[in-house]
Amino acid sequence: MKRRDFLKAAGTGALIATSAGTASARDNLPVSEEAVGMLYDATLCIGCRACVVKCKEINEMPPELVEGAEQWDMAEELSADTLTIIQAYNGATGGNAARLEDGTFSFSKRQCMHCVDAGCVSVCPVKAMKKDPKTGIVSHDPDACIGCRYCVMACPYNVPKYEYDEAFGQIQKCQLCNQKGVERIDQGQITGCTEVCPTGANIFGTRKELLAEAKRRLQLKKGDTYRYQLSSIDSPHTYETQVKADYQQHIFGEKEGGGTQVLVLAGTPITNLGLPELPERSYAANSETVQHTLYGGMIAPAGILAGLIYLARRNTKGGDHDE
């Protein structure tokens, strides 16, 4: 068979099969009414990193040290030993605030966003990444994980981290303090990072309640007086203070990538805080639509194979050989 004929048959078979197949496009997955999450308000964050310390304590992870400054944790980015991190960004232009001199900056908290339609769950071939149907928490099962790292590549937030320095490395990520051996949420507690936040910059609750609170804050103006919650959306502990900045009229996570259960408010454009610009349609919905269209019922592979068999039989009968 000539190479030209081979490619023609393969292409024709694929086209016919794809045209014959019915596109099984799916929408973004819905969010559970009881889904839990966090609301991070960057205008309230003072960069104390108490959340980072508490997270490491709960997950029994070591501090990341720098030679010559070994008195405290010096982690600057998410890693297999750091599941949440506070970073400082220039409030006007983005970028690392430590390198700028205009004094304008905003803190940003990074951790797993617990996507409503999680790409890491969609791509995992062994179901090591799971999304709880009630709480919506995206968790990782190390006993099922084969270390393929598809979840690392699928996450638009660059969150899952692999233990490259371990002989039998595993994936590490925030599991909202509800993984095996911790299970704070199942026991009626809240996440460690929200429990210790001194300003209420990070609070725990159901996504529905947090979204409503975020929308209330968007109505505020700089200088207004507002009573902020501490630790959780239904906490009796609150404090009254003036709003420090005009809120950007955008709740990150409400719709991005199909929505997330960690919501973010800021007084500066979200893109200045290291968060990506994402379409409303989730990547998982897009990829699964393509896969189901091409491979649903094995129509496309069968069509390609049929085209190749037909051409091979025709050329064999005609005595046509590759030159």
pLDDT digits 0-9 by tens, 21-47: 445 678 999 999 999 999 999 999 999
Say whether pLDDT at 100 is over 70: no
Class of domain 36-117+174-280: alpha beta
Q: Quick one: pLDDT at residue 297?
A: 54
Query: DSSP class of residue 10?
Result: H
CATH 3.30.70.20 boundaries in the chain: 36-117+174-280
CA distances from 157 to 110, 160, 161, 253 (A): 9, 9, 11, 12
Which is higher by pLDDT, 25 or 176? 176
Mean of all residue pLDDT scores within the chain:
86
Query: DSSP class of residue 258?
Result: G
Q: Quick one: pLDDT at residue 92?
A: 62
Mean pLDDT in residue range 272-300: 77
Q: Using pLDDT thresholds of 50, 70 and 90, give the confidence band for residue 323.
A: very low
Q: Using pLDDT thresholds of 50, 70 and 90, give the confidence band for residue 316.
A: confident
Q: By mean pLDDT, which of 44-48, 104-108, 234-238 is the weakest?
A: 104-108
Q: Which residues pair with 87 in a beta bridge?
A: 108
Mean pLDDT in residue range 163-179: 93
Q: Using pLDDT thresholds of 50, 70 and 90, give the confidence band for residue 3.
A: low
Q: Which helix (H) or strand (E) holds 37?
A: strand 36-41
Here the tokens at position 146 are 């084969």
- Give the integer Cα–Cα distance in Å for 223 and 31: 35
Which is higher by pLDDT, 280 or 295? 280
Say whether pLDDT at 258 is over 70: yes
Q: With CA atoms as reference, report the closest residue to 159 among 148, 174, 139, 145.
A: 174
- Give the integer Cα–Cα distance in Å for 94 and 248: 15
